[in-house]
Amino acid sequence: DGGITQSPKYLFRKEGQNVTLSCEQNLNHDAMYWYRQDPGQGLRLIYYSQIVNDFQKGDIAEGYSVSREKKESFPLTVTSAQKNPTAFYLCASSIGSGAFTGELFFGEGSRLTVL
């Protein structure tokens, strides 16, 4: 089945630890995104990548890092510098390549809890 796979679904982290969330897609999409979802805040963009080996900061990039070494993969690292990392993280992809239709395909999300 084509789609976005995020892992792990649930993750617990101690304060001061970095953690990496995985996002893989087999839709052959060029663009990929990471959003953070908090109750009452909606979705806020962390990072996005329109092409391999290139990515841009979103609205709340501080304390996060990403890489885009392969078209299929866009991992997100939540670093110890992120002051309030407990949240629900959503990865998405879109066709990209100048053919942006606004349709994003989302994974099922990863819930990170800092203990």
Partner 1 sequence: GDSVTQMEGPVTLSEEAFLTINCTYTATGYPSLFWYVQYPGEGLQLLLKATKADDKGSNKGFEATYRKETTSFHLEKGSVQVSDSAVYFCALSDSGGSEKLVFGKGTKLTVNP
Residues of this chain that bind partner 1 (CB under 8 A): 4, 31, 33, 35, 40-45, 48, 50, 56, 58, 90, 92, 94, 96, 100-109
Q: Are 76 and 89 in contact (CB under 8 A)?
A: yes
- Tell me how far, at minimum, the Cβ of 17 lies from partner 1, in Å: 26
- Tell me how far, at minimum, the Cβ of 48 lies from partner 1, in Å: 5
Q: Are 43 and 107 in contact (CB under 8 A)?
A: no
DSSP string, 8-54: -SEEEE-TT--EEEEEEE-S--SEEEEEEEETTTEEEEEEEEEETTE
Q: Between residues 82 and 94, which has the closer beta carbon with respect to partner 1?
A: 94
- Tell me how far, at minimum, the Cβ of 30 lies from partner 1, in Å: 9
Q: Are 29 and 70 in contact (CB under 8 A)?
A: no
Q: Between residues 19 and 89, which has the closer beta carbon with respect to partner 1?
A: 89
Q: Between residues 10 and 12, which has the closer beta carbon with respect to partner 1?
A: 10
Q: Between residues 17 and 38, which has the closer beta carbon with respect to partner 1?
A: 38
- Tell me how far, at minimum, the Cβ of 98 lies from partner 1, in Å: 8
CA distance 109 to 89: 5
Q: How many residues does the chain have?
A: 115
